[in-house]
Amino acid sequence: MLHRYFAVFVLALVGLLATAAESRADQALDAAMEPIWLRYWMAISAEKQCNEVTFTQEQYDIMTHIINQRVQNAISAGRRGTLIDEANDRIYDIVFKYGCGSEEVGPYLRLFFGELAPALGYHPSSLTLPRLRLG
């Protein structure tokens, strides 16, 4: 009888350890994907600020779906909101300091138009992206 209790205890302990290891792996994936999520939302924020765009909820849903695919749905909803706020703050500071036509903002606008805008069927009438020196 004592052996059964011990076996159940050991199985429970193994399950607990496996869950903890899986949780750490999930947290590591979250941390690895956060810069990607942040970069995409900085691209959205750059488009909003530099081209005075207002997106619909449907457009936000489409862009969020694309970004979630890129980050393998690894980031929790609460953390995503925090990262969106951080992206907006960072882009505001960059645009204020360097301007929309700068080399600092250009990569975000190119990311937006290269990966997000096509899914929206979105084509601004007059936009000139800055040409950056490569290399």
Residues 6+ apart with CB under 8 A from 46: 91, 95, 100, 105, 108, 109, 112
Looking at mean pLDDT, say which of 20-24, 58-62, 126-130 comes out highest: 58-62
Residue 10 lies in a domain: no
Residue 130 lies in a domain: no
Residue 20 lies in a domain: no
Residue 8 lies in a domain: no
Q: What is the mean pLDDT of residues 101-127?
A: 85
pLDDT at 100: 94
Q: How far apart are the first and last CA of the chain?
A: 72
Q: Which domain holds residue 90?
A: 34-120
**pLDDT tens per residue across span 3-29:** 666 555 555 555 555 454 444 444 554
Task: Give the Cα separation of 84 and 75 in Å (integer).
Answer: 12
Residue 81 lies in a domain: yes
pLDDT exceeding 90 applies to what percent of the chain? Answer: 60
What is the token pair recorded at 67?
């970004």
| Residue 42, φ and ψ in degrees, nearest 5 | -65, -35
Number of domains in the chain: 1
Residue 76 lies in a domain: yes
Q: What is the mean pLDDT of residues 27-48?
A: 86
Residue 79 lies in a domain: yes
Residue 54 lies in a domain: yes
pLDDT at 121: 84
pLDDT at 77: 86
What is the token pair recorded at 118?
């096509």
Residue type, 27: Q
How high does pLDDT run on average in the chain? Answer: 80
